[in-house]
Structure formats: C-alpha cells, structure tokens
Amino acid sequence: MDDLKDFGTPPVNSEKLVTLKIDGIDVTVTEGTSLMRAASIAGVSVPKLCATDSLEPFGSCRLCLVEIEGKRGYPASCTTPASDGLVVSTQSPKLANLRKGVMELYISDHPLDCLTCATNGDCELQDMAGAVGLRDVRYGYEGENHLDSKKDESNPYFTFDPSKCIVCSRCVRACEETQGTFALTIDGRGFESKVSAGNKDFIDSECVSCGACVQACPTATLIEKSIEEHGTPERKVTTTCAYCGVGCSFNAEMQGDKVVRMTPNKNGGANHGHSCVKGRFAWGYTTHKDRINTPMIRKSINDSWQKVSWEEAISYAASEIKRIQKKYGANSVGAISSSRCTNEEVYVMQKIVRAGFGNNNIDTCARVCHSPTGYGLKQTIGESAGTQNFDSVMESDVIMIVGANPTDGHPVFASQMKKRLRQGAKLIVIDPREIDLVDNTPHIKADYHLKLQPGTNVAIINSIAHVIVEEGLSDQGFVKERCEDESFKIWLNFIKDPKNSPESTEAESGIPADLLRKAARLFANEKNGSIYYGLGVTEHSQGSTMVMGIANLAMVTGNVGREGVGINPLRGQNNVQGSCDMGSFPHELPGYRHVSDLATRALFESAWNTKIDDEPGLRIPNMLDEAISGKFKSLYCEGEDIAQSDPDTQHVTHALESMECVIVQDLFLNETAMYAHVFFPGSSFLEKNGTFTNAERRISRVRKVMAPKNGYEDWEITQMLSNALGYPMKYKHASEIMDEVAQLTPTFKGVSYEKLDKLGSIQWPCNDEHPEGTPTMHVDEFVRGKGKFFITEYVPTAEKVNNKFPLIMTTGRILAHYNVGAQTRRTKNTVWHDEDLMKFILMMQRKEE
Ligand code: SF4
Ligand code: SF4
Ligand code: SF4
Ligand code: FES
C-alpha cells in the first residue's frame, strides 16, 4: 500500500459489506466506512483539511461536503457513513461554490508567504486552495486576523507558528488518539479559538515531543526545524529505528545523502505511522563531530592513538589475535557482539569466533538483560521469544505489566496500550516504582499497583498463582488439553503450599495479602489476560525463575495462543531478540541450538567448512574473570560499551587492563575504547544494510541511505578481520548473510530480503508452514508440544540493604535517552536531561540485622 495515500478516515472493521455509487463509480466497503474513505477507495478524491486517515473524523472544516441523491443538504463526507444503495456526488457547481467559500475564509486569515514558506509544495492548505480553484479572496486580507501571533520555537525539533493555524484540531486529536498524552487543547471559541499546549510553551508543557501533531498538521504551523533549515526532501528510503525493541519503521527523507526528516511509516507493522522523540528526531548523532571515521591502533593503552589505514588496522588486529592464541592457547580470545548490531553483523561475529578463533567465546549484551527470557520461555513453552504481536494488546481485557515502564522504555507500543486502556481494559502494575501508567497518564489509572520490594518478584508471582489455584480460578480445560500432566501435578503441589500464600509472602514482599488476592482474581476472571514484562524481571538474580513463573501463570489461566493474551517480553534494545536468535551466546548456534548437539554442529561444520568446538565458550563474566586471572588476553567488542554499561565497573576495567589486545568497533571512542589497542570505526544504521528483529519477532529491513563515513559497513569489517585471520568470508551484500541464516536455521527458512521488501516485515517462524511469518505463536499447541510447568521456588535476594550499603539501586529508562546515552547525548535530547538522575523511592524496606 502506498503509505503516502491518505484515505481521510481510518478503516472500519465489519463483517458486513455495503455497495454504493460515488460519482458514477460502484464501490463496496465495510459498513461504517465514511463516504470520504469509500470515495478514496473508488479513486475519487474529496477535498479535505480536518480529516486524515490516522485520526477519527471530526467534521470541522466543511470542505468535504457532498450531495446524496434523495437527501437534503450537504453532509460532510468524512463523518457520514456509507450505506447500501447510496448515490453520492462529490462534484457539482453548488459544492464547488461552498468549498470555495470555506477556503476564502481560511486564506483571508493566512499569511500569504507561500513562496518563502518552508513547506511550499508540501502543504495541504495550498493543495486544497488549488483543488477548489481558489483565485481570489472576496473579503480581502485587511480584516481581523491572527497574523501577528507569536511563534513558539521552544522545542528543539519543531516550531509552532500560530499565524498559520487553521484550527483544524488535527494536532490536538493526534496528541490524544495517537500518542495518548493530551498535551494540546483548543482554547477559546469562534474567532478566538487557538491551539494551546496548556497555555505554556511546548517545552514546558506536557508534550513528550513524539511529533504526531507535527505529522498531522496540514499547514506549516507545526513543522520540523530540519525542514525549515534544509527545505523539503526529494526522496525517501524505508528503514528501521535503531533505538528500542519496538522496532518502528521510518522513511528517511533525503536531500542527496543528507537526512532532512525521519517520518514514521504508516505501513510499519510495529508502529503504524507513530514514533517517539528518539526515532523521529534524535538521529543527529550519526553526523556528530565525535564520530571517529579512521581506524586507529596503539601498542599500549598508555600510548596515544595512531591513525592508520584499514589494511594496517586489520592486519595488526589479526596478527595480535594470532600471537596471543599461539602464546596463551585458542581459548584466550573471544568477542562480544551487541543488540545494537544488525542480525547480519551478529551472525558474522559469532561465525568469526567459532570458525576464525576456533572457540565458542562469543557473548552479547543480552547476557545482562534478556537471557533469562530466552532460557525461561524455551524451557516452559519451547521458544525463546514473546508469543504475540503488539496489535494483540487491542484484544486484551486485563493487562499485567511487571518490571517495565512502557511509556518511557517502549513509547510507541505504550501509546497503543494506552489506547486499549482508555477503551476500558483493566491494568495491574507490579513494580516498586510508580510508573506513569499507575496514575500519571490522562484517563488511565491502574486497578492495582503491587509496589513490591525489589527482589521479591518470584514471591509475588507464586502468590498470584497460589490464589488462582486455591480459589478455583484456573483454566482447567486449557491445562488438561495443552500442558504436561506430570509437570502440572508437581507444580500444583508446590504452588498450593501455604508458604506461597499472599499472607505468607506479605512481610517479605510488602504487598498486603488482600490487595494481591484482588489483583489475582482480576487477572484470572477477565477473558483475555496479557502479561508484559521488562528488565525489572530479567535483571535480577532470579530472572529465569521469574520468567518461568510468568509462563506458569499464563498457562494456568489459559492465556496463551490467541489474540489479547500471551507472554510479552518488552525487549530493550532494537535487536535484542535478533542478537539472541543469531547465535551470539557461547552455548548456542543460531536458532538456539546447543553446541553440544552433534547434528547441529555437523550442519554448520559442513556449511562453514570448519570444525566447531562442542564445549560452550566463556560468557562475559567468565571472560572478565579469566582476564584478571591471566588466561583471557584478547577481546573483540562490537557496538557495546562494557566499561560503562556492565555491572561492577572496577572489575570490568581491571579485566580490560589485564588484556593484551582489546579491539573496539564503535561509532565513538567510548569508555571501553579507553582500554583498547585497536579501534575500528563503525557505521551508523543509516549507512548500512541489514535487519533488526524487534520484541514481536518482527524482522525489518535496515537500509543504507548514505555511504558509510568510515568506508565500510560493520559486517564488512568483521569479514576483513576473518579473512586476515585465515578464515575466508566472501559475502558481497548483507542479503547473502541472511540467505545463509535462512539456509541453516529452521525458523528463518523462508526469510529473504526479497520477501522482506515485498511484505515490509516478517515475524519468525517463517517457514514452509508459515511462509509469511507467524504473528501469534503456540496457537494450537506449544512449540515444545505440551506446556511444561516449572517449580519456581522463591529465594530471597542476597542484595539486601545493610549499614554499609544502605540503598538498593536499580536502573530504569527515561524517554529522551537511550541506555548509556552514547547516541542520545549527542543530540538535542539533552534539552530534557543533560545528566543521569537518581530518583529516591521510599519503601518500607527492612534492614538486615
Ligand atoms: S509532539 Fe506529541 S506529545 Fe507533543 S504535543 Fe505533539 S502529539 Fe502531543
Ligand atoms: S496546528 Fe496544524 S493541526 Fe493543529 S489546528 Fe493548527 S493547522 Fe490544524
Ligand atoms: S518507540 Fe523505539 S523504535 Fe519506536 S521510534 Fe521510539 S525508540 Fe525508535
Ligand atoms: S474534512 Fe470533512 S469536515 Fe473537514
């Protein structure tokens, strides 16, 4: 579908079809579809200003009037539903006159600066003046007007010029319907009406700079500063946001090789045309002056960096790796890939380790975020991934959020979730923090907030399941039909134990038993219950146990295998799912197959023409420990800043200092690079081809919109290093890497760039059975056959407060920044936060004696 075509009003879901005639053309649409949309489908375009198909119709501009045979008056086509047998005319002398009159009024109060206006040629008001044939304004331009209204330039990314506003309210509705922030209103009445951000400048208002209003505005009232500065784009390339696990699809709008605007793609499967401040506006880091574009080497970390050619850098790195392996053994080297990288980059990283280094010492940053998800879900339901697509939330009746803050961490998905909550879905939040969805979001209030003590997740999930089982609220039919009988019986015995009752866990968790009981009942009694969780679950010592506890809860309530339910890990970074899928763990080859499995090894050994070690390699913590003990001497680290983001910084930097060759591949000289001997400059997401896989298992294309500033895409650098080490790689394009993944990985069997180009995105598994992918998993049976319940014994965390360490510290995301801020700190997002913040939450935490 052409994502530029605007049908005027959104599609309407209905089983019933109606047929009508518009300007002599028969058209069949679903019942409830507006006349405007029906006309558009028939190829007839009706003039419009206040309507756009991302928003519900409003009917304020009166430009879209039509005539209906046998009916009096001139109804607005955007608010009039189509019905069987209607005969509609969109053109007549009377309609032309009415429309001209409307346009005259608008234009008489509009600055006539089209030639110098930043959106000249890209303005709906201008288009409509042309469409209705406006040639003159009978009222003149001297009457009362708004032309002196003050421009608001407070937002770093867009301006608001009220002198150009036609008060169509599209911005207000976009903020409400699409974003769910309700920052804008129309103040005043009649001629005095004006758009207001709560009578404040945008920067001081509730606005979260998602840009939905800017996109919705049909005039130059709300426009991007980048468009004011550079003018309108001349071409666009569809690509994927490189920030978070929502995986929003964008059109990079270009002038030559310069990005002038990022516009969310209406056809994006994850975002449906919406975005957050990071994806839409915070791409300035890609051209930031801090970027290093030349390879560098140095013998010691106390020396200064020496700029060298690519040949020299690659050859030096390869010779060091070989020297170290010769001296300290094959296992003395390893690599860390990153969830910031594309699937193709991660795949070649684990391949260079397994085939080039000859060991399995490959790990990824998902080690410290979502590896418990992979393990916990694989064990219980058979696949290391979330069960649903984002759209599924629109069918949920009760939503449980555990250890996640979607409005800050996954903002575009949060907007969809907020829409469902405003429609009446119930909400249970389990988090020590009072996240905005608890009671700080317009028209949303959590039904229950279980503000637990950090570290007591497992006690809470067990108690919820205990109540459900004890009070007879489980879905026995689902359990009997879909789950393993034996494991269920053992689990039932465990969960019924009074130690798991809310009364028993209350003292430890801080959650009053009656509150927990009510929340458990709500979750079990609603038809469709979905669970969304984040790092508050996985970044704990009992992360895997909690994931299994969540899976147990979903199974015992029958909430898997259809729309509106499911187990939904909200993956942090853009490609956490993909980096795990691609075999970047030391014990697993791509597709989560254990290195000890003979058949899997044989498959890869034959394709790669090499021997693969059957022993799992070192994880990140093992690499660091072994570096300190003198056994691990060289690390190749791509796209991850372990010195800044991994726990226990002193330990990490001590380990890095103990190595003889640290190779960092990144956009910037990050903290880890302070301990590096070789620096390979990386390429930004705008400079390479590849794919990212988001939290819904959705594989989306990353497309090169400009040449890499360093000369190479990141996978090419790894390939050059591999060739220099003596293990040949000969990919000519990232698509060839994906072809190899598809050839060797059953869940990716049907994936290709050609298919991605055709479908837009694909949710794996994509194979002969599901050639276009799988939005909802485990529909008739679990991937592992029967679902397996696991005992989830609660073990109190060792990280308790005491006199020496009186505070529990935990991390959380903020909307404007991403992770360690390597990218967002190099954008104007610093307007919102220019340094990290520590927020104190008072809890009734007992001190350890
Ligand atoms: S940028 Fe987003 S949050 Fe801000 S006013 Fe516009 S729609 Fe609302
Ligand atoms: S700012 Fe734009 S979208 Fe909002 S009312 Fe004015 S013209 Fe319409
Ligand atoms: S929600 Fe995530 S993927 Fe979407 S624009 Fe924001 S940061 Fe990018
Ligand atoms: S487009 Fe229908 S009234 Fe404005």
Residues 488-521: tens digit of each pLDDT: 999 999 999 999 999 999 999 999 999 999 999 9
Atom of ligand 2 nearest to the CA of 167: 5
Query: Contact at 8 Å (CB) between 275 and 412?
Result: yes
Cβ of 52 closer than 6 Å to ligand 2, yes or no, is no
Q: At what angle do helices 502-509 and 513-525 cross, to 10 degrees?
A: 120
Q: Name the DSSP class of 395.
A: G
Residue whose pair of structure tokens reads 């529990």 in the numeric block: 808
Instruction: Count helices and strands (H / E) in the chain.
Output: 28, 28
Atom nearest to 195 CA in ligand 2: 5
The per-residue pLDDT of the chain, averaged, comes to: 93
Q: Where are any strands of DSSP class E within 144-201?
A: 158-160, 185-187, 194-196
With tokens 């390879």, the residue in question is 295
CB contact at 8 A, 183 and 239: no
Per residue in 543-572, pLDDT tens? Answer: 899 999 999 999 999 999 999 999 999 987
Question: How many angstroms separate the Cα of 513 from the Cα of each of 44, 259, 459, 464, 638?
Answer: 61, 55, 12, 10, 47
Cα–ligand 4 centroid distance for 172 (angstroms) = 15
Residue 818 CA: which ligand 3 atom is closest? 7
Confidence class for position 372, pLDDT limits 50, 70, 90: confident
Q: What is the mean pLDDT of residues 651-678?
A: 97
* Phi, psi (rounded to 5 degrees) for 701: -75, 140
The closest of 788, 761, 626, 775 to 691, measured between CA atoms, is: 761
Pocket of ligand 4 (CB under 6 A): 48-51, 59-64, 76, 78
Query: Which residue's C-alpha comes closest to atom 6 of ligand 2?
Result: 165
CB of 677 within 8 A of CB of 662?
A: yes
Of 1-10, 139-148, 755-764, which gets the smallest average pLDDT? 139-148
Q: Is the CB of 210 under 6 A from ligand 1?
A: yes
Q: State the Cα–Cα distance between residues 783 and 235, nearest whole angstrom.
A: 43
What pLDDT sits at residue 848?
Answer: 41
With a cut of 80, say whether residue 135 has pLDDT above it: no
DSSP 221: S
Q: What's at 101, amino acid-wise?
A: G
Q: Please tell me the distance from the alpha carbon of residue 445 to that of residue 447, in angstroms, as a whole number.
A: 6
Ligand 4 centroid–CA 276 distance in Å is 27
> How remote is the CA of residue 145 from the centroid of ligand 2, in Å?
16
Token digits of residue 849: 């004696």
Q: Could you tell me if the CB of 702 is within 6 A of ligand 2?
A: no
**Is it the case that residue 646 has pLDDT exceeding 90?**
no
DSSP assignments along 524-547, one per residue: HHSS-EEEEE-HHHHSSTTHHHHH
155 in ligand 1 pocket by Cβ < 6 Å? Answer: no
* 374 Cα to the center of ligand 2, angstroms: 46
Q: Which of 163, 169, 187 to mutate to test the pocket of ligand 2 (most atoms within 8 A of CB)?
A: 169
Q: At residue 844, does pLDDT exceed 80?
A: no
Give me the pLDDT at residue 634, please. Answer: 97
Confidence of residue 847 (pLDDT cuts 50, 70, 90): very low
Render pLDDT for 196-255 as a digit per residue (tens, 0 to 9).
Answer: 999 999 999 999 999 999 999 999 999 999 999 999 999 999 999 999 999 999 999 999
Rounded to 5°, angle at Cα 690 from 686 and 694: 95
Q: What is the pLDDT of residue 310?
A: 98
Which pLDDT score is estimated for 130?
83
Does residue 264 have its Cβ closer than 6 Å to ligand 3? no
| Distance of CA 77 from the midpoint of ligand 4 (Å) | 7
Query: Which of the ligands is closest to the CA of residue 149?
Result: 2
Ordered strands of the 249-255 beta sheet: 235-240, 249-255, 258-264
For 137-168, the pLDDT digits (tens) are 666 656 666 677 789 999 999 999 999 999 99
pLDDT tens, residue by residue, 580-636: 999 999 999 999 999 999 999 999 999 999 999 999 999 999 999 999 999 999 999
Tokens found for residue 656:
């890095």
What's the CA-to-centroid distance between 718 and ligand 1, angstroms?
A: 41
Verify whether ligand 1 is closer than 6 Å to residue 213 (CB atom).
yes
Which SS3 state, helix, strand or coil, does residue 367 take?
A: helix
- % of the chain surpassing 90 pLDDT: 82
Nearest CA to ligand 4 atom 3: 59
Which residue owns the Cα nearest ligand 2 atom 2?
217
pLDDT for res 846:
45
55, 158, 175, best to mutate for ligand 1 pocket (most atoms within 8 Å of CB): 175
DSSP 88-126: EES--HHHHHHHHHHHHHHHHTS---GGG-TTTTS-HHH
Residues 753 and 701 sit within 8 Å (Cβ to Cβ): yes
* Mean of pLDDT values over 824-837: 89
Closest CA relative to residue 588, chosen from 752, 354, 372: 354
Mean pLDDT lowest among 107-111, 138-142, 384-388, 825-829: 138-142
Give the span between the Cα atoms of 211 and 273, in whole angstroms.
Answer: 11
Nearest CA to ligand 2 atom 3: 217
- Measured in Å, residue 80 CA sits from the centre of ligand 4 at 10
Please list, in sequence order, all residues whose beta carbon lies within 8 angstroms of the beta carbon of residue 396, skipping any fewer than 6 positions away: 420, 425, 528, 529, 530, 564, 565
CB 391 within 8 A of CB 363: no
pTM over 0.85: yes
User: Rounded to the nearest whole angstrom, what is the distance from the C-alpha of residue 59 to the centroid of ligand 4?
Assistant: 4
Encode pLDDT of 784-799 as tens digits: 999 999 999 999 988 7
* pLDDT-based confidence at residue 276 (cuts at 50, 70, 90): very high
Q: How far apart, in whole angstroms, are the C-alpha atoms of residue 485 and residue 36?
A: 55
- Whether 119 contacts 94, CB under 8 Å: no
**Is the distance from the beta carbon of residue 171 to the nearest atom of ligand 2 less than 6 Å?**
yes
Cα–Cα distance for residue pair 660/561, rounded to 1 Å:
51
The predicted pLDDT at position 849 comes to: 37
pLDDT at 842 over 70: no
Q: What is the pLDDT of residue 114?
A: 79
Of residues 754 and 800, more confidence is placed in: 754
Confidence of residue 1 (pLDDT cuts 50, 70, 90): very low
Measured by CA distance, the residue closest to atom 5 of ligand 2 is 167
- With a 6 Å cutoff on the Cβ, whether 170 touches ligand 2 is yes
- Check residue 222 and give its pLDDT: 96
| Residue with CA closest to ligand 2 atom 8 | 168
Which ligand 3 atom is the nearest neighbour of the CA of 275? 5
Q: Where are the beta strands (DSSP E) in 360-417?
A: 362-364, 398-402
